[in-house]
Amino acid sequence: MTEGIVLMQQTKSIKDIDVSNQRVLIRVDFNVPLDNEFNINDDSRIRETIPTINYCIDHNAKSIILVSHLGRPQGKDSTYSLKHILRRVERLLGRNVAFAESLEALPSILALLPQGGVVLLENIRFYEGEENNDTTLSQNLGKLCDVYVNDAFGASHRKHASTYGVAQYATHKVAGLLLKREIDCFSKALTNPLKPVLLIVGGSKVSSKLTLLSTILDSVDKILIGGAMSNTFLHAIGYNMQSSLIEPHLAEDAVKILRTAKAKGVKIYLPVDVVSTNNLKNPTEIKITPAQDIPDGMMVVDLGPATVKLFSQVIRACETIIWNGPMGVYEIDKFSRGTFSLAHVLADTYAYSVIGGGDTADAIDRAGEKDNMSFTSTGGGASLELLEGKVLPAFEVLERK
Ligand code: ADP
Ligand code: 3PG
Ligand code: MG
């Protein structure tokens, strides 16, 4: 699986070309979580892209166009307007940023922009052609720039006009500093890492993470499985999971993974005890039991204390740790203990720690340990596909060294 990463690492970055007096278009991922009043809940994705924008300004770029999507709008819908985040971009950059309502509006705005001026284009998903990688839209984006920079790691698994098609129509196509950092940090964990290497995997979307488990068996020494993911595995080995969230049709795949892991000498650890409840929203009963004795009608929502101890020991014995997927329903205080405890243990180690997955990053932030991890990816789906060993489309179209 590491061949793909090595290939992606060979991508040229803005540092390998001259951006001086060039019109630069940067595909960023400003798809940040907003609340009902359009306040930004987490601006990490914007913050992480600032160095790339500053680099272009500092190296005398003529103009900088920022292109992003926000959410999954069906056509033009002001709920998903990037205007909601314009002020934050300006504040983090410390300068004025123009706003272009449409591609058609861009030329006149660019004409008035001072040297090194920055303009943010409205949500690129308002254009039908974006998601189907339309040629005309790709060409129109390409026409606007001399240098195309992709810094949208979070969207790098999408083969869209602004992440993929556009590259064909730009003279230079290179990675931004964030895209580069993401691939370098994942590479450190997967190509020639300090051993033992541990994968912690959890969360709810078992189906979307089984491929990861089977492909990563060649790159890790140990795997801790928690969250709803472990429910399916425990069910597969014959435990009665009662009302827990499971994906029974994946039981066979789960058993196959356990068998292959054994054959390859990879140790997989499953919860030995669990926290279960009768009702997620209004719990009137919460029980800690062995994983084999889940009370009738209850659902598993967190790791039990013995499992936390066991998993902590494994974490302390590893040198490289990749974590994707929370260990329980961490959004609810009562069921966050397993996830938060492991976050604290991980923070206290000297291991190289890489966090992937939107909810996992959020959980670690809530546990107050975000700054104590070696690296937190800005990608959810993208980091998952990278860990699965895929070459991400956005990297495919960039120049190589
Ligand atoms: P990530 O975004 O980090 O990839 P996922 O989206 O796969 O993670 O999973 C996160 C979700 O999994 C959270 O909303 C969490 O509440 C849920 N979850 C974790 N454990 C369980 C469980 N035992 N039962 C139901 N949901 C769970
Ligand atoms: C993300 O939030 O994972 C990225 O911004 C990609 O968004 P998408 O899943 O809507 O393509
Ligand atoms: Mg998620």
Task: Give yes or no for residue 43 having a pLDDT over 80.
Answer: yes
pLDDT (mean) for 344-359: 96
CB atoms within 10 A of CB 55: 18
Q: Which ligand minimizes its atom distance to the CA of 157?
A: 2
Question: pLDDT tens digits for 318-336?
Answer: 999 999 999 999 999 999 9
Confidence of residue 208 (pLDDT cuts 50, 70, 90): confident
What spacing in Å lies between the alpha carbon of 154 and ligand 2's midpoint?
6
Strand partners, 320: 197, 352
Q: Among all ligands shown, which has an atom nearest to the Cα of 324?
A: 1
Residue with tokens 């005309």: 136
- Using an 8 Å Cβ cutoff, are 96 and 149 in contact? no
- pLDDT band for 350, please (50, 70, 90 cuts): very high
What is the average pLDDT across 81-93?
98
Task: Decide if pLDDT at 3 tops 90.
Answer: no
Beta-sheet strands, E only, within 18-121: 23-27, 63-67, 98-100, 117-121
Please state, in angstroms and rounded to a whole number, the distance separating the CA atoms of residues 294 and 389. Answer: 36
> How many residues are listed for the chain in this entry?
401
What per-residue confidence (pLDDT) applies to 88? 98
Sheet holding 267-269, edge to edge: 267-269, 222-225, 197-201, 320-324, 352-356, 375-376
Q: Token pair of 262, please?
A: 């054994």
Specify which residues 34 forms β-bridges with. Answer: 40
What is the CA(98)–ligand 1 centre distance, in A?
38
* 204 touches ligand 1 (CB under 6 Å): yes
d(CA 160, CA 176): 18
Give the pLDDT band of residue 206 (cuts 50, 70, 90). Answer: confident
Q: Is 380 in the pocket of ligand 2 (CB under 6 A)?
A: yes
154 lines ligand 2 (CB under 6 A): yes
Q: Where do the DSSP E strands lie in 241-386?
A: 267-269, 273-277, 286-290, 299-303, 320-324, 352-356, 375-376
pLDDT at 24: 98
Q: Is the pLDDT reported for residue 344 higher than 90?
A: yes
Q: Which atom of ligand 2 is nearest to the CA of 380?
A: 3
Mean pLDDT along residues 212-226? 95
Question: Mutate which of 204, 225, 376 to test ligand 1's pocket (most atoms within 8 Å of Cβ)?
Answer: 204
The DSSP letter of residue 32 is: -
Ion ligand 3 nearby residues (CB, 5 A): 358-359
Task: Name the 3-class secondary structure at 304.
Answer: coil
Mean pLDDT across 285-304: 98
E strand segments, 337-399: 352-356, 375-376
Task: Answer yes or no: is pLDDT of 251 > 90.
Answer: yes
- pLDDT tens digit string along 167-191? 999 999 999 999 999 999 999 999 9
What is the rounded distance in angstroms from the CA atom of residue 217 to the CA atom of residue 264?
Answer: 8
Q: Are 271 and 307 in contact (CB under 8 A)?
A: yes
> For residue 326, which of 357, 291, 297, 283 has the smallest C-alpha distance?
357
pLDDT of residue 200: 98
What is the reported pTM? Answer: 0.93
Return the residue whose CA atom lies nearest to atom 7 of ligand 2: 155
The ligand 1 atom nearest the CA atom of 331: 16
**Which pLDDT value is given to residue 40?**
96
Question: Does residue 227's CB lie within 6 angstroms of at least one atom of ligand 1?
Answer: yes
Q: Which residues of 303-328 are buried (b: 16+ CB within 10 A; e: fewer)?
A: bbeebbebbbebbeebebbbbbbbbb
CB atoms closer than 10 angstroms to residue 18? 12
Give the β-pairing of 172-175 and 147-150: parallel
C-beta of 166 in contact with ligand 1 (< 6 A): no
Ligand 1 touching residue 205 (CB < 6 A): yes
Ligand closest to 202 (CA) is 1
Identify the bridge partners of residue 302 per DSSP, sorted by sequence position: 275
Which residues are catalytic, by number? 45, 205, 358, 381
Tokens of 88: 């934050």
CA distances from 330 to 216, 302, 309, 366 (A): 25, 8, 18, 9
Pocket test for ligand 2, best of 28, 29, 34, 376 (most atoms within 8 A of CB): 29
Read off the pLDDT of residues 97-152 as tens digits, 9 standing for 90 and up: 999 999 999 999 999 999 999 999 999 999 999 999 999 999 999 999 999 999 99
Residue 357 has pLDDT above 80, yes or no: yes
Ligand nearest to the CA of 131: 2
First to last CA, the chain: 21
Please, which residues have CB within 8 angstroms of residue 245's CB and are 6 or more apart in sequence? 204, 228, 231, 299
The CB of 359 under 6 Å from ligand 2? The reply is: no
Give the confidence band of 55 by pLDDT, cuts at 50, 70, 90: very high
Q: What is the widest separation between alpha-carbon atoms in the chain? A: 70
Q: Compute the distance between CA of residue 251 and CA of residue 261 in angstroms, rounded to an integer.
A: 15
Query: How high is the mean pLDDT of the chain?
Result: 96
What H or E segment, with its residue span, contains residue 179?
helix 177-190
Beta-bridge partners for 287: 276
Ligand 2 atom nearest 158 alpha carbon: 11
pLDDT over 90 (residue 2)? no
Counting residues of the chain whose pLDDT is more than 70, the rounded percentage is 100
Give residue 326 CA to ligand 3 midpoint distance, Å: 9
Q: Is the pLDDT of residue 1 over 80?
A: no
% pLDDT > 90, the chain: 97
Residues 6+ apart with CB under 8 A from 6: 187, 191
pLDDT of residue 198: 98
Nearest protein CA to atom 11 of ligand 2, as residue:
155
